Amino acid sequence: MNNVVIRSSGRYLPEKVISNDHFAQFLDTSDEWIQERTGIRERRFAGPDEKNSDMGTAAASQCLERAGLAADDVDLIICATVTGDRIFPATANFIQENLGNHSAWSFDVNAACGGFVYALSIAYGLLASGINKRALVIGSEKMTSILDFTDRATCVLFGDGAGALLLEAVDPADNPQGFGIKHFELGTDGSLAYKLWQPDGGSAHPPSPDSLLRHGHYVHMSGREVYTNAVRKMDQIVEDVIAKAGFTPEDIDWYVPHQANKRIIDSVRERLGMPEERFVLNIDRYGNTTSATIPIGIDELYTDNKLADGQKLVLMTFGAGFTWGSTYLEWGYPPAGGGAK
């Protein structure tokens, strides 16, 4: 089995910044109300001509540039998204075209906020087994395309953006430091799927004049149930993946949580007994970018020079489906490099 390491990261955030005061102009809300309940001050909105695949391409291109690789050096592209350019084909295919890649097979993963960790686990399996050598794993969302801007319970929460990681299979003999992705904890509870979903638009309820009247093609959420389950499951999966790795919470250098609500993150952090300084927090600036939050968070650590070889990271997420997942990894790229033999 190959080791699977992270070679580079990238992110893209649209230029347009939307503050909480924007929503106060047409909804019964305020900057204070939103910040108190979510921790969000502002978020980014993509332009009307800016596609999901454009953002994903920008994040993926940054990965390639930082790694000094050409597009055709990658043989797998996975895009986690619930707001793809089209129902089909996969947004990953459009990203492949934009990159000028002719060597990769590509597909999307639809698991909402759990999507990036799910996609990461799939790429890990394909690289560890030797089926593929290098993978771009992308989380990209244009959430503004499915938001109901008359519903203050949902529209204030989300933003647009993309993040990406470039993974590489490495022969264990070339990686004596033991860098790379190590463990996953993944789960789903489909019985709660209706608590956070987009009711219309698929084959069960195709778009229609009636669905437009009911706002059925927008995000619908039962906030209390989402919050309660998110806290419970994220507590569990973080503790489980750390135990599987043979460590304690104190041993982890960085926690990279999904950015859905700062109160959820604070609850998990307090249960672990960890200081806020060990948690990546950007929800105040970007809101919930769904499948993009975790790779954006990792890239912020990278570009802020906060990552060092051998540091231990735990990624954690919870989202619609309900889906949840956590990952334990050790940061670093072996000097030998060169990929798997």
- Looking up residue 192, the CATH number of its domain turns out to be 3.40.47.10
Q: What is the pLDDT of residues 286-319, one digit of tens each?
A: 999 999 999 999 999 999 999 999 999 999 999 9
Q: What is the mean pLDDT of the chain?
A: 96
Q: Which of 3-17, 54-68, 95-109, 324-338 has the lowest mean pLDDT?
A: 324-338
Q: What is the pLDDT of residues 157-204, one digit of tens each?
A: 999 999 999 999 999 999 999 999 999 999 999 999 999 999 999 999
Q: CA-to-CA distance for 56 and 291, rounded, in angstroms?
A: 11
Q: What integer is the mean pLDDT of 65-93?
A: 98
Q: Are 299 and 166 in contact, with CB atoms under 8 Å apart?
A: no
Q: What integer is the mean pLDDT of 73-79?
A: 99
Q: What is the structure's pLDDT at 49?
A: 96
Q: Using the predicted structure, report yes or no on whether residue 123 has a pLDDT greater than 60.
A: yes
Q: What is the structure's pLDDT at 338?
A: 55
Residue tagged 């933003």 (tokens): 159
Alpha carbon distance, N-terminus to C-terminus of the chain: 11
Q: Using the predicted structure, report yes or no on whether residue 209 has a pLDDT greater than 90.
A: no
**Cα–Cα distances in Å, from 102 out to 106, 140, 180, 307, 322?**
11, 21, 27, 32, 35
Q: DSSP string spanning 50-69?
A: --HHHHHHHHHHHHHHHHT-
Does residue 63 carry a catalytic annotation?
Answer: no
Domain count, the chain: 1
Please report which confidence band the pLDDT of residue 341 belongs to, taking 50, 70 and 90 as the band edges. very low
Q: What integer is the mean pLDDT of 330-340?
A: 77
Does residue 155 carry a catalytic annotation?
Answer: no
Q: Are 218 and 201 in contact, with CB atoms under 8 Å apart?
A: no
Across the strands, what pairs with 163?
11, 139
Please report which confidence band the pLDDT of residue 208 belongs to, taking 50, 70 and 90 as the band edges. confident
**pTM, whole model, 2 decimals?**
0.97
- Encoded tokens for 88: 């089909």
Q: CA-to-CA distance for 36 and 30, rounded, in angstroms?
A: 10
Does residue 113 carry a catalytic annotation?
Answer: yes
Q: Which of 3, 101, 110, 288 is catalytic?
A: 288
Q: What integer is the mean pLDDT of 45-65?
A: 98
Give the residue numbers spanning the domain of 49.
1-341
151 in helix, strand or coil?
coil
Strands 76-80 and 105-109, how do they pair? parallel
Q: Which of 113, 175, 217, 220 is catalytic?
A: 113
